């Protein structure tokens, strides 16, 4: 195999940003051979035959960040071998910005008291954690007080201030700049951005705000608008809504509609091509026809939804086509502007983007006029174009229902209904390169550090309430056994009693391959991993059947499958490498790869939670993965491999003995330190194990329960617990697998399995069967009458 052949296609992902000189801080140890010399570089190139057994090289200790991440090794390769390549989806925190000094999260040490979550305020954007969010909430400063303390106007009072002729200057405010003609305060920041919407919480200690005053924002630029005008701009952005209910039928005056269309027409456009047209539709027949098309698509969509989602969707209105006096169709002409439209030659999609900006302009202007707008997209675009008699070179970008409304919802309707949640701004902001998290003015941090810092202890008040309630329910105290503890823990996690019923739920099946497969630790060919992923995607596996049974959505995550996989909905391509290296020869992964996989898991958890899921379920697929699972369990618990290594998919006596020896050898070859969880994952774990650990941490940080499956999830949970002991507050053991190591892992973690049927399939199958138990425990806490209420006599 030539070096070029060995180069992994995933290495050929996004190049380094143009213009950035490749930093040479990925030095290899001088004495070590470079197995890939001349291969073109790339983060993943440390594993020449990944998945088929080769020990990767790790950089010297001083090249690592606080997670042991190798600093920019791919760039070093690039210096020798051409352009640098980045991981396809992640960029590590790396030099030249030094890693934040404080905490080594790869070591087990007491975590500092995390910042307290913001109080839930129905009028403010809902940030994740959604419900309860841990211990004694409601410590964040409400907007009004924050405004008083920072000298900024609170959003809901900004208009009142202006109306009363009080521009908001308070004692202690700096003198106003004479250029600030009639402006309110000196803050250049929008007065109306609440701290909650950033995902950041004001630091507090025991509910007190810190002594230090908030830093003053610099003077306004002379071109900035006056305070009231800026407030109006931010207000309309904040209060724009996609409206589907509560439209009034009264007509829209022509001059109002024209103003709104003129605003749309002033949108920015590529090369000033102004590629939009607006078709104003009032005709009832046309609208009825479009509505029928939407209805058909709606039914098709509903059929594809898992149970809990389908129930929620049945109550959602997706259009108001006949309810509004006017529909506006916004189209794009991608050919407009002639042959040489400035800026479109490299990015033909810019015409569509420009038109979307026109839609936003229309939407904001409409909101300012008191008009609601609902964007409908449940139709097949060409069919709609035909129905509207559009010329063939025009495409529909938006179908908008426009009219006056009874009210604007305080939050997006989908958020109010729990369909999806607003992601905090902090999740979306990266500094200099993807993965260096932090709002402007903050020290950038990594996703892993941010996640661990966000995990909170259980809320004691909610726990006490749940315990009291369990004792008052019409049943003998304790008679629901472990389910009582489950409901109490869920209350503590949510920070309220009763907690929300953990539905909808989503199972994520993390798939990866293993270099140790070469040691004949399993009877199954490695290709079965890839084949089973196809089977999952086609809906033909046990996980699909069980998920259907319990109304759960299935997501497959490729974190390290050797084979190529299709780009299809339901499969998240997060391949960090094509399998691990053989753990009997050296470490499975580099630390960098281990961190990437952990962070991939965190992101999947975040995405599923912000998509509205209230319970996450772990699943795995990876031929040979019970071997690294056993090695992880031995490393974290200290048990002998003979006591925790099982027969996996089925091995005879001799093969089982051999597998135990393989695990033993892996632990001899790789020094493992349980206080260095990332190091242990990199040494003897797998990509799906690392991602599962991240998935657990991500769930815990969002305050959402995570239901664990079998031995693979159990071994990953040991790593998660070592990274953050508090993450176990979010964990529930679905079942106990037939693998002996699973029992040991669960005991070590203090988790009580909900059932044991000697299952040993993985995929999330056992955890899915336990999901109704979790849900039932909450339903009982919520719905069962108390002795008093039901008039049932208590114990004599």
Ligand X SMILES: Cc1cc2nc[nH]c2cc1C
Ligand Y SMILES: O=C(O)c1ccc[n+]([C@@H]2O[C@H](COP(=O)([O-])O)[C@@H](O)[C@H]2O)c1
Which residue numbers are catalytic? 763
Of residues 640-659, which lie at the interface with ligand Y (CB under 6 A)? 648-649
The binder of ligand Y chosen from 291, 321, 709, 721 (CB under 6 A): 709
> Is the Cβ–Cβ distance between 303 and 348 less than 8 Å?
no
Q: How far is the CB of 448 from ligand Y (least distance, A)?
A: 25
Q: Does 637 bind ligand Y (CB under 6 A)?
A: no
The HSE-up count of residue 379 (CA atoms within 13 Å, CB side) is 28
Q: What's the gap between Cα 391 and its chain centre? A: 41
Of residues 464-523, which lie at the interface with ligand Y (CB under 6 A)? 522
Q: How far is the CB of 517 from ligand Y (least distance, A)?
A: 8
DSSP track, 673-735: -TT-HHHHHHHH--HHHHHHHHHHHHHHHHT--EEE-SHHHHHHHHHHHHH-GGGGGGEEE-B
Contacts of 2 (CB under 8 A, 6+ apart): none
Q: Which does 281 bind (CB under 5 to 8 A by kind): ligand Y, ligand X, none?
A: none
Q: How far is the CB of 604 from ligand Y (least distance, A)?
A: 17
Tokens at 326, concatenated:
């006017």
Q: How far is the CB of 92 from ligand X (least distance, A)?
A: 31
**With CB under 6 A as the contact rule, which of the stretches 59-67, 211-219, 697-705, 755-763 interacts with ligand Y?**
755-763
Tokens at 165, concatenated:
């002729």
Q: Does 624 bind ligand Y (CB under 6 A)?
A: yes
Between 547 and 712, name the residue whose CB sits nearer to ligand Y: 712
Q: Which does 709 bind (CB under 5 to 8 A by kind): ligand Y, ligand X, none?
A: ligand Y
**DSSP reduced 3-state for 218:** coil
Q: Does 560 bind ligand Y (CB under 6 A)?
A: no
Q: What is the dihedral of CA 680, 686, 687, 692, to 10 degrees?
A: -80
Q: What's the gap between Cα 599 and its chain centre? A: 10
Between 376 and 770, name the residue whose CB sits nearer to ligand X: 770
CA–CA distance, 751 with 734 (Å, rounded to integer): 10
Q: Does 635 bind ligand Y (CB under 6 A)?
A: no
> Is the Cβ–Cβ distance between 521 and 627 less than 8 Å?
yes
Task: Point out which residues pair with 554 in neighbouring strands.
Answer: 507
Q: Does 737 bind ligand Y (CB under 6 A)?
A: yes
Number of residues that bind ligand Y (CB under 6 A): 23
Report the run of H or E that residue 621 belongs to, with start and end: strand 615-621
Q: Does 739 bind ligand Y (CB under 6 A)?
A: yes
Report the run of H or E that residue 363 belongs to, with start and end: helix 350-368
Between 722 and 768, name the residue whose CB sits nearer to ligand Y: 768
The binder of ligand Y chosen from 620, 708, 718, 778 (CB under 6 A): 620
Task: Point out which residues pair with 706 in neighbouring strands.
Answer: 616, 731
Q: How far is the CB of 770 from ligand Y (least distance, A)?
A: 13
CA–CA distance, 707 with 695 (Å, rounded to integer): 11
Q: How far is the CB of 215 from ligand Y (least distance, A)?
A: 51
> Is the Cβ–Cβ distance between 690 and 625 less than 8 Å?
no
* Alpha-carbon separation of residue 226 from 181, 347, 707 (angstroms): 7, 37, 52
**With CB under 6 A as the contact rule, which of the stretches 123-131, 208-216, 483-491, 757-765 interacts with ligand Y?**
757-765
CA–CA distance, 578 with 566 (Å, rounded to integer): 15
End-to-end CA distance of the chain: 81
Q: Does 689 bind ligand Y (CB under 6 A)?
A: no
CA–CA distance, 543 with 549 (Å, rounded to integer): 10
Contacts of 125 (CB under 8 A, 6+ apart): 194, 196, 197, 411, 422
Q: How far is the CB of 649 from ligand X (least distance, A)?
A: 5
Q: Which does 580 bind (CB under 5 to 8 A by kind): ligand X, ligand Y, none?
A: none
Q: Which does 742 bind (CB under 5 to 8 A by kind): ligand Y, ligand X, none?
A: ligand Y
Q: Does 621 bind ligand Y (CB under 6 A)?
A: yes
**With CB under 6 A as the contact rule, which of the stretches 167-175, 312-320, 596-604, 707-715 interacts with ligand Y?**
707-715
Between 295 and 649, name the residue whose CB sits nearer to ligand X: 649
Phi, psi of 205, rounded to the nearest 5 degrees = -135, 120
Q: Does 85 bind ligand Y (CB under 6 A)?
A: no
Q: Which does 45 bind (CB under 5 to 8 A by kind): ligand X, ligand Y, none?
A: none
Q: Does 625 bind ligand Y (CB under 6 A)?
A: yes
> Is the Cβ–Cβ distance between 401 and 379 less than 8 Å?
no
Q: Does 582 bind ligand Y (CB under 6 A)?
A: no
Q: Which does 739 bind (CB under 5 to 8 A by kind): ligand Y, ligand X, none?
A: ligand Y
The binder of ligand Y chosen from 761, 768, 780, 781 (CB under 6 A): 761
Q: How far is the CB of 596 from ligand X (least distance, A)?
A: 24
Q: Does 720 bind ligand Y (CB under 6 A)?
A: no
**Strand segments (E) across 52-153:** none
Tokens at 254, concatenated:
């022509």
CA–CA distance, 201 with 232 (Å, rounded to integer): 25
Between 293 and 624, name the residue whose CB sits nearer to ligand Y: 624
CA–CA distance, 788 with 794 (Å, rounded to integer): 8
The HSE-up count of residue 92 (CA atoms within 13 Å, CB side) is 32
Between 384 and 692, name the residue whose CB sits nearer to ligand X: 692
Q: How far is the CB of 763 from ligand Y (least distance, A)?
A: 6
Between 446 and 625, name the residue whose CB sits nearer to ligand Y: 625
Q: Which does 659 bind (CB under 5 to 8 A by kind): ligand X, ligand Y, none?
A: none
Residues near ligand X (CB under 6 A): 524, 528, 532, 621, 649, 761-763
Q: How far is the CB of 536 from ligand Y (least distance, A)?
A: 11
Q: How far is the CB of 540 from ligand Y (least distance, A)?
A: 15
Q: Which does 528 bind (CB under 5 to 8 A by kind): ligand X, ligand Y, none?
A: ligand X
Pick from 409, 413, 433, 431: nearest CA to 422: 413
Q: Which does 8 bind (CB under 5 to 8 A by kind): ligand X, ligand Y, none?
A: none
Between 388 and 557, name the residue whose CB sits nearer to ligand Y: 557
Q: Which does 627 bind (CB under 5 to 8 A by kind): ligand X, ligand Y, none?
A: ligand Y
Tokens at 57, concatenated:
């090289």
Between 351 and 555, name the residue whose CB sits nearer to ligand X: 555
Between 372 and 714, name the residue whose CB sits nearer to ligand Y: 714
Of residues 762-781, which lie at the interface with ligand Y (CB under 6 A)? 762-763
Between 397 and 745, name the residue whose CB sits nearer to ligand Y: 745
Q: How far is the CB of 502 from ligand Y (least distance, A)?
A: 21
Q: Which does 449 bind (CB under 5 to 8 A by kind): ligand X, ligand Y, none?
A: none
Phi-psi region of 703 (alpha: psi -120 to 50; beta: other; left: phi over 0): left
553-560 vs 394-404, strand pairing mode: unpaired
Q: Which does 710 bind (CB under 5 to 8 A by kind): ligand X, ligand Y, none?
A: ligand Y
Q: Does 557 bind ligand Y (CB under 6 A)?
A: no
Pick from 641, 637, 666, 635: nearest CA to 656: 641
Tokens at 488, concatenated:
């109490």
Q: Could you give the angle at the alpha carbon of 683 between the alpha carbons of 682 and 689, nearest 5°?
A: 50
Where does this chain bind ligand Y (CB under 6 A)?
A: 522, 524, 620-627, 648-649, 709-712, 737, 739, 742, 760-763
């Amino acid at each position: 195999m030539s070096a070029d052949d060995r180069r992994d296609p995933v290495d050929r992902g996004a190049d380094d940003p143009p213009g950035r000189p490749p930093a040479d801080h990925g030095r290899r140890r001088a004495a070590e051979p470079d197995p890939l010399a001349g291969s073109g570089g790339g983060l993943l190139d440390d594993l020449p035959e990944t998945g088929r057994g080769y020990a990767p090289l790790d950089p010297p200790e001083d090249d690592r960040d606080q997670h042991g991440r190798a600093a920019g090794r791919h760039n070093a390769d690039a210096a020798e071998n051409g352009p640098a390549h980045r991981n396809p989806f992640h960029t590590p925190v790396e030099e030249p910005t030094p890693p934040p000094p404080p905490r080594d999260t790869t070591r087990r040490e007491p975590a500092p008291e995390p910042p307290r979550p913001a109080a839930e305020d129905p009028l403010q954007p809902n940030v994740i954690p959604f419900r309860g969010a841990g211990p004694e909430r409601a410590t964040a400063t409400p907007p009004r007080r924050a405004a008083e303390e920072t000298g900024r106007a609170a959003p809901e009072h900004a208009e009142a201030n202006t109306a009363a002729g009080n521009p908001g200057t308070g004692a202690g405010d700096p003198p106003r700049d004479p250029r600030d003609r009639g402006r309110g305060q000196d803050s250049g920041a929008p007065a109306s951005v609440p701290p909650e919407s950033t995902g950041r919480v004001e630091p507090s200690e025991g509910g007190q705000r810190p002594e230090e005053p908030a830093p003053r924002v610099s003077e306004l630029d002379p071109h900035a608008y006056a305070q009231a005008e800026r407030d109006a701009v931010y207000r309309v952005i904040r209060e724009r809504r996609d409206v589907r209910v509560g439209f009034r039928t009264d007509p829209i005056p022509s001059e109002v509609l024209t103003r709104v269309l003129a605003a749309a027409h002033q949108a920015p456009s590529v090369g000033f091509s102004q590629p939009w047209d607006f078709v104003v539709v009032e005709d009832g027949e046309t609208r009825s026809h479009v509505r029928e098309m939407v209805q058909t698509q709606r039914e098709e969509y509903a059929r594809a939804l898992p149970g809990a989602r389908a129930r929620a969707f049945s109550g959602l209105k997706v259009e108001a086509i006949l309810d509004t006096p006017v529909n506006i169709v916004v189209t794009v002409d991608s050919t407009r502007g002639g042959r040489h439209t400035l800026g479109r030659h490299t990015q033909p999609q810019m015409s569509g983007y420009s038109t979307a900006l026109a839609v936003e302009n229309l939407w904001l202007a409409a909101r300012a006029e008191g008009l609601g707008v609902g964007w409908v997209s449940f139709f097949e675009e060409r069919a709609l174009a035909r129905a509207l008699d559009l010329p063939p070179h025009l495409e529909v970008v938006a179908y908008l229902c426009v009219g006056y409304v009874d009210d604007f919802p305080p939050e997006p309707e989908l958020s109010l209904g729990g369909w999806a949640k607003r992601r905090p701004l902090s999740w979306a902001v990266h500094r200099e390169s993807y993965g260096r998290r932090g709002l402007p003015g903050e020290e950038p941090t990594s996703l892993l550090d941010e996640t661990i810092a966000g995990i909170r202890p259980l809320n004691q008040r909610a726990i006490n309430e749940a315990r009291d309630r369990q004792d008052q329910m019409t049943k003998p105290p304790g008679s629901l056994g472990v389910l009582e503890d489950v409901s109490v823990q869920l209350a503590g996690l949510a920070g309220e009693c009763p907690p929300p019923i953990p539905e909808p739920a989503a199972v994520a099946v993390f798939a990866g391959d293993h270099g140790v497969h070469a040691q004949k630790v399993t009877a199954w060919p490695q290709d079965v991993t890839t084949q089973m992923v196809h089977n999952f995607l086609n809906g033909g596996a046990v996980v699909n059947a069980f998920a259907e049974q319990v109304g759960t959505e299935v997501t497959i995550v490729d974190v390290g499958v050797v084979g190529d996989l299709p780009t299809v909905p339901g499969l998240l391509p997060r391949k960090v490498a094509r399998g691990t290296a053989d753990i009997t020869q050296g470490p499975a992964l580099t630390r960098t790869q281990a961190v990437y996989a952990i962070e991939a898991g965190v992101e999947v958890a975040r995405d599923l939670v912000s998509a509205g899921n209230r319970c996450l379920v772990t699943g795995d697929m990876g031929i040979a993965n019970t071997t690294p699972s056993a090695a992880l369990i031995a490393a974290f618990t200290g048990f002998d491999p003979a006591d925790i290594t099982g027969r996996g998919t089925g091995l005879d006596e001799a093969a089982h003995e051999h597998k135990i020896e393989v695990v033993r050898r892996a632990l001899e070859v790789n020094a493992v330190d349980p206080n260095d969880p990332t190091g242990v994952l990199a040494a003897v774990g797998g990509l799906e194990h690392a991602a599962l650990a991240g998935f657990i941490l991500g769930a815990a940080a969002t305050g959402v329960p995570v239901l664990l499956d079998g031995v693979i999830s159990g071994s990953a949970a040991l790593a998660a617990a070592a990274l953050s002991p508090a993450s176990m507050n979010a964990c529930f053991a679905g079942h106990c697998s037939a693998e002996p190591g699973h029992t040991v892992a669960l005991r070590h973690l203090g988790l009580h399995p909900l059932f044991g049927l000697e299952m040993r399939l993985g995929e999330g199958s056992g955890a899915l069967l336990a999901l109704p138990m979790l849900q039932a425990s909450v339903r009982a806490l919520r719905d069962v009458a108390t002795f008093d209420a039901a008039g049932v006599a208590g114990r004599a």
